[in-house]
Amino acid sequence: MSLLCKHLTLGLLFLLSTQVFAKKDSKELPPLDPKFMGVHPMVLVNNGPDILASYLPSYQVPKNHQLVYKLKVKNVALVQLVRDGGLITIEPKPFNLQRLMRGESMTVTADVYMGHFQRDGMLTYKSMALDFDRKLYWRTLTELAPSGKTREYDAVDLGKNHKLLIHKIQKAPSFDHLLIIDEVASCLLKFNTSSAIPKESELHYKFFHCGTIKPLYYETEGFSY
């Protein structure tokens, strides 16, 4: 056998072996759990031209998740609505939440409301296709810290010194809270407040020295018992 043939044979064997190992190393995701199939409402907030969708969690399984996604939005009217319309919520058609928990990119069809979709919100867009592009945050509400005066936040880097702060929901009574800071200095993410459910203004005061603050969402209903 010539030297060239030997090299070609060795090369072919190496290629086949890497393909075999690649197949062994690749892991298929397990089937979706049907318990996560359902209607999963969210609040829409903005960071400049970007729209973020934050899941409206509860303490009850399987809706006991804090989850934030970045959307891919080309609809300028929707960007303007979220930027200027106050509280904007969506009521999606049923889908399996586990797909977002896994970090999948997917399209969800949803009705868009000015206000809370369950509290006299005004239907603004019906059956709008929303592209969920990238998972920013996910936390399951299990083994929660006891309710009390100690607050703790998680921070997600959004780029350009912007950080999304997410209150880590505790056992009831507690609250859901999102805000963006334009961080100019180190910011405390764990501190005490006057009560288990402080006023939103008190929370914002705690971040006063962090830089510019943009309030996004504050909710106590559903977390008080």
DSSP secondary structure letters along 150-176: EEEEEEEEEETTEEEEEE---SSS--E
Identify the H or E element spanning 82.
helix 76-84
| 70: pLDDT strictly greater than 70 | yes
pLDDT value at residue 211: 84
Considering only CA atoms, give the Rg of the chain: 23
Burial of 195 (0-12, 13-18, 19+ CB in 10 A): exposed
Q: Letter for the amino acid at 145?
A: A
Q: Letter for the amino acid at 113?
A: Y
Q: What is the residue extent of each domain of the chain?
A: 31-142, 143-225
Work out the pLDDT band at 185, boundaries 50, 70, 90.
low
| 173: pLDDT strictly greater than 90 | yes
Enter the pTM of the model: 0.85
Over residues 184-194, mean pLDDT: 87
Under 8 Å between Cβ of 196 and 149: yes
pLDDT digits (tens, 9 = 90+) for 115-149: 999 998 999 999 999 999 999 999 999 999 999 99
Stronger pLDDT, 210 or 4, i.e. the higher one: 210
